[in-house]
Amino acid sequence: MDPKLIFKDILEKGKVPFVNMEEPYDDEFSINVNLGNFKAACLELHKVLKSPVMMLFATDVRAKRGVFTLSCVFSSVKYRKWITVTTDIDGEDPRFESLSKEMYSASLFEREIKEMFGIEPAGSPDSRRLKLHDEVWPEGLYPLRKDFPAVASLWRDPAMSCKDVCVGGVTMSAAASGEYKFKRIEGEGVFEIPVGPVHAGIIGPGHFRFSVAGEPIINMEARLGFTHRGVEKILEGRTVSDAVKITECVSGDASFGHSLAFCQAVEKICGINVPEEASVVRAMMLELERLYNHAADIGGMAVDVGFSFPSAYASIIKESILALNKELTGSRYLKNVNRIGGVNKNLTIEDITCLRGSLKGILKDFGELKDMLYNSVSFMDRVDTAGILKKKTAEDLGVIGLAARASGIPMDIRKDFPGGTYKKVRFDVIKESGGDCLARLNVRTAEFAGSAGMILQFADILKCGGQKLFADHPAVRPGSGLGYVESWRGAVLYWVKLDEKGTIERCKIVDPSFHNWEALSFAVLGNIVPDFPLCNKSFDLSYSGNDL
Amino acid sequence: MFEIIKNRLFKGVVTGSLRGMGPSRPEDLEALGQELKTAIHKRFGRSFHIREVDTGSCGGCESEIIATTNPIYDVQRFGVDFVASPRHADALLVTGPVSKNMALALKKTYDAMPGPKYVITLGDCAPDGGLFKGSYYVEGGVKNILPVSAHIPGCPPDPMTIIRYLLILLKV
């Protein structure tokens, strides 16, 4: 059935008028509506497609058309499409009606749009800033607007005091002296425990505010944004090949997933056909990334309950996979492998032999690790029923990826939007219904075996002919498109818009951590504070991917 | 318990080698480690304690720092330890380009350390912002905030590089 008819039908049933519709690519569908109908259209699609907000972002096109555009992306597994609803927002008095009361998964995106663009989500229940902390960044400065200079020296005059800000020659004496307001729980015997941003372990920075009465946590709020580096602004104006390197450093433990999502978006816009062999190599690398991270997380969960031997064992497994990565690609974290149009690295017959050999050993070690953990009563006692994330909560928050699968939501881009490569191999989407730490552990152990199986199947497909694995001289052309990859945490999404010069005009990045951090606040409720590290590790979310 | 004993016996000692795939030459690691141990013994009386602070890194550097403590590299046996509090630390190991939000936390962590103290930067972002140089939200490197004594380059530096540079720092 023609997708235009399907979506026309959906909107007409909800009595939502639209301006136009088009199908720019096979897997994307875009609907243009007036600002007044934006909310109704989004809510209708949310209801019918049963999809959370996958992305909600603004773009500044005031220089060309005097407006901001606002786009909301949903996914539809049924129709195998990513649906984007777009509207224009007045450039002079930018505001739109907030979606988050009816559709909570839009909440964080709205806060982000407000701080980055100064577009007001009218009626939003929470307008606190996420990344630009009130203590260091003045009000009224919106870095993702196009008239905000990309280079820092242009907006801050060194002669001025650090609290004065100069943008486009206009000095604003905007002192940043705000304070972030945490939710307050009051009552007899309730006290607060502030933790972070510098933690005891070797991990990223974030602040957690616990409210506890006795031992159980009655509220936990995470304040993030500490690793905000302005990635989206840095990417603007770059050539696509320069940008690949930056996307690899968005989240260091998912560097391949991120660069792949970016490359796929650009390849889609420019109509570049990636050689089949290169797609297989990419899928293989993506699974290797999943393997080393799952091994690290399983070890991390063991260490967070004080079970050190299995954790040391898991770190041997992780090290073996990193060493294998190095052997295959020259980089332990699979950097410099992706390029626009394909991959830099050719796998030879010897590489495949080495891969098979070490994977055999890795799987054997992993079996032992699993036995040690699952046969330990005290370990099982800690993970079982700890940190439950209910299915309904997960759906409302828009939780995706591994955490969603552990709470009974079987979403997996590899199955839902398989492309060509993942159709060639057999694998199952792992689903658990418990939603607790054990469920997330089970998903990881099952996926570890699944991914290893997939890598071996990919190895069978590879021809190892020694031909080059990238499309020649990819011609960059203007346009916009969405790249999506099921990275080990979940869907990594890149919406890229290229201008006439072939450089990046806007790149919106959504790491699965951005969807999932809030789930942790719900999962820890009622658990005791000493179980927090375990719950946290069972999600293992990225700080830098969230903060950008 | 049975599994643990079994694995402890069958796995044996993995330090320095990993089916031929760990550090490219295990004997290098041993020699380097012994030298490091001697240097630490001389200058710090047995142990060199490091507090790590992430000021906006992508997490790659953290992963490699953790890898130096895994059973293959096991840097602890040479006297290097990563501690949970700046109060226990001889050196501060800083990764990341220093985002504005972390500048104060970094300063406070440094101030909490007892003297004499060193600051070591790690990873290509830390000296000047690296890939994120010039961004509106980075402070352009650790050196603008703290006195830096040494730098470990790489994106991210692998465990052998980290160990090698620690030795260079201690010898100077």
Say what the pLDDT of residue A155 is: 56
Chain B positions touching A335 (Cβ under 8 A) are 155
- Check pLDDT > 80 for residue A157: no
Confidence class of residue A443 from pLDDT cuts 50, 70 and 90?
very high
Distance (Å, whole) CA A498 – CA A507: 9
Enter the ipTM. Answer: 0.90
State both tokens at A224.
């993030």
The domain ranges of chain B are: 2-171
Say what the pLDDT of residue A154 is: 53
β-strand A81-90 against A67-76: which pairing, if any?
Answer: antiparallel
Return the closest-CA partner of residue B63 out of A410, A349, A15, A255: A255
Confidence class of residue A161 from pLDDT cuts 50, 70 and 90?
very low
Average pLDDT over residues A469-498: 87
Distance (Å, whole) CA B45 – CA B106: 27
Say what the pLDDT of residue A151 is: 66
What one-letter code names the amino acid at A35?
A: L
Return the closest-CA partner of residue A77 out of A456, A416, A435, A438: A416
Residue A480 phi, psi dihedral angles, 5° rounding: -140, 150
DSSP assigned state of A367: H
State both tokens at B3.
């599994």
Confidence class of residue A166 from pLDDT cuts 50, 70 and 90?
low
Can A3-132 and A235-540 be said to share one CATH topology?
no
Say what the pLDDT of residue B82 is: 92
- Check pLDDT > 80 for residue B17: no
pLDDT tens digit sequence for A276-320:
888 999 999 999 999 999 999 999 999 999 898 999 989 999 998
Q: pLDDT: is B12 or A55 the higher one?
A: A55
Say what the pLDDT of residue A168 is: 47
Q: Indicate yes or no: CB of B56 within 8 angstroms of CB of A133.
A: no
State both tokens at A473.
């001289």
Say what the pLDDT of residue A207 is: 92
Q: Indicate yes or no: CB of A322 within 8 angstroms of CB of B53.
A: no
Distance (Å, whole) CA A309 – CA A317: 13
Say what the pLDDT of residue A186 is: 86
Average pLDDT over residues B84-111: 91
The nearest CA of chain A is from the CA of B73 a distance in Å of 10
Q: Indicate yes or no: CB of A197 within 8 angstroms of CB of B102.
A: yes
State both tokens at B97.
């380009």
Write the CB contacts of A364 (distance below 8 Å, at least 6 apart in sequence): none
Say what the pLDDT of residue A165 is: 57
- Considering only CB atoms, A197 lies closest to which of B60, B105, B138, namely B105
Average pLDDT over residues A244-263: 92
State both tokens at B83.
């501690």
Q: Are B63 and B156 in contact (CB under 8 A)?
A: yes
What CATH number belongs to A235-540? 1.10.645.10
Write the CB contacts of A202 (distance below 8 Å, at least 6 apart in sequence): B52, B54, B62, B65, B66, B82
Q: Are A222 and A203 in contact (CB under 8 A)?
A: no
Say what the pLDDT of residue B22 is: 52
Say what the pLDDT of residue A284 is: 92
Q: Indicate yes or no: CB of B71 within 8 angstroms of CB of A315.
A: yes
Architecture of domain A3-132 in this structure: 2-Layer Sandwich (3.30)
Share of chain B above pLDDT 70, in %: 94
**Coil, strand or helix at A5:** helix
Write the CB contacts of A229 (distance below 8 Å, at least 6 apart in sequence): A544, A547, A548, B56, B97, B99, B132, B135, B137, B138
- Considering only CB atoms, B54 lies closest to which of A204, A313, A375, namely A204
Chain B positions touching A206 (Cβ under 8 A) are none
Q: Indicate yes or no: CB of B99 within 8 angstroms of CB of A198.
A: no
Say what the pLDDT of residue B39 is: 86
Confidence class of residue B19 from pLDDT cuts 50, 70 and 90?
low
DSSP assigned state of A531: G
Q: Are A319 and B70 in contact (CB under 8 A)?
A: yes
Say what the pLDDT of residue A285 is: 92
Average pLDDT over residues A393-402: 91
- Check pLDDT > 70 for residue A379: yes
Side by side, which strands form the sheet with A207-213?
A190-195, A207-213, A217-223
pLDDT tens digit sequence for A25-37:
888 889 999 888 8
Range scoring the smallest mean pLDDT among A148-162, A327-341, A468-482, A531-545: A148-162
pTM for this structure?
0.91
Say what the pLDDT of residue A344 is: 87
- Check pLDDT > 70 for residue A173: no
Write the CB contacts of A308 (distance below 8 Å, at least 6 apart in sequence): A302
Write the CB contacts of A223 (distance below 8 Å, at least 6 apart in sequence): A180, A182, A206, A207, A208, A209
pLDDT tens digit sequence for B134-144:
888 888 788 88
Number of Cβ within 10 Å of residue A81's Cβ equals: 22
- Check pLDDT > 80 for residue A1: no
Range scoring the smallest mean pLDDT among A273-282, A440-449, A485-494, B9-18: B9-18
What one-letter code names the amino acid at A371?
A: D
Q: Indicate yes or no: CB of B85 within 8 angstroms of CB of A225.
A: no
Average pLDDT over residues A71-87: 90
- Check pLDDT > 50 for residue A328: yes
Distance (Å, whole) CA A436 – CA A523: 8
Number of Cβ within 10 Å of residue A511's Cβ equals: 29
Beta bridge partners of A82: A28, A75
Q: At what angle do helices B159-171 and B60-67 cross, to 10 degrees?
A: 80
Say what the pLDDT of residue A448 is: 94
Q: Where are the beta strands (DSSP E) in A224-354?
A: 338-339, 342-343
Q: At what angle do helices A512-523 and A532-539 cross, to 10 degrees?
A: 150
Say what the pLDDT of residue A537 is: 92
pLDDT tens digit sequence for A448-482:
999 999 999 999 888 877 777 777 766 788 889 99
Average pLDDT over all residues of chain A: 87
Chain B positions touching A323 (Cβ under 8 A) are 18, 21-22
Confidence class of residue A169 from pLDDT cuts 50, 70 and 90?
very low
- Check pLDDT > 60 for residue A378: yes
CA distances from A379 to A17, A86, A298, A367, A437 (A): 56, 49, 12, 17, 11
- Check pLDDT > 60 for residue A265: yes
Q: Are A130 and A111 in contact (CB under 8 A)?
A: yes
Distance (Å, whole) CA A250 – CA A383: 30
Distance (Å, whole) CA A104 – CA A395: 10
Average pLDDT over residues B116-126: 91
Find the radius of gyration of the CA atoms of chain B.
17
Q: Are A96 and A71 in contact (CB under 8 A)?
A: no
Chain A positions touching B65 (Cβ under 8 A) are 202
Q: Indicate yes or no: CB of A309 within 8 angstroms of CB of B140.
A: no
Helix (H) or strand (E) holding A487: none
Return the closest-CA partner of residue A38 out of A82, A72, A3, A83: A72
Say what the pLDDT of residue A10 is: 80
Number of Cβ within 10 Å of residue B12's Cβ equals: 8
Chain B positions touching A200 (Cβ under 8 A) are 84-85
Distance (Å, whole) CA A334 – CA A353: 19
Chain B positions touching A150 (Cβ under 8 A) are 134
Q: Indicate yes or no: CB of A227 within 8 angstroms of CB of B56.
A: yes
- Check pLDDT > 80 for residue A48: yes
Chain B positions touching A542 (Cβ under 8 A) are 59
Return the closest-CA partner of residue B60 out of A286, A451, A289: A289
Say what the pLDDT of residue A134 is: 84
The domain ranges of chain A are: 3-132, 190-223, 235-540
The nearest CA of chain A is from the CA of B40 a distance in Å of 22
Average pLDDT over residues A521-532: 92
Give the chain B residue nearest A377 (alpha carbons).
B1
- Considering only CB atoms, A230 lies closest to which of B52, B72, B136, namely B136
Q: pLDDT: is B4 or A256 the higher one?
A: A256
Share of chain A above pLDDT 90, in %: 45
The alpha carbon of residue A357 and the mean position of all alpha carbons in its chain are separated, in whole angstroms, by 33
Give the chain B residue nearest A328 (alpha carbons).
B21
State both tokens at A31.
């609907």
Average pLDDT over residues A214-226: 91
Return the closest-CA partner of residue A318 out of B12, B70, B25, B20: B70
End-to-end CA distance of chain B: 47
The nearest CA of chain A is from the CA of B104 a distance in Å of 9
Task: Report DSSP letters for A198-254, one per residue.
Answer: S-SSSS---EEEEEEESSBEEEEEEE--TT---HHHHHTT-BHHHHHHHHHTTSGGG
Chain A positions touching B62 (Cβ under 8 A) are 202-204, 252
Number of Cβ within 10 Å of residue A64's Cβ equals: 8
Q: Indicate yes or no: CB of B99 within 8 angstroms of CB of A197.
A: no
Chain A positions touching B2 (Cβ under 8 A) are 375
Q: Indicate yes or no: CB of B136 within 8 angstroms of CB of A143.
A: yes
Our CA angle for A51, A57, A58, nearest 5°, is 145
CATH T-level fold of B2-171: Rossmann fold (3.40.50)
The nearest CA of chain B is from the CA of A246 a distance in Å of 7
Q: Indicate yes or no: CB of B105 within 8 angstroms of CB of A227.
A: no
Average pLDDT over all residues of chain B: 86
Confidence class of residue B47 from pLDDT cuts 50, 70 and 90?
confident
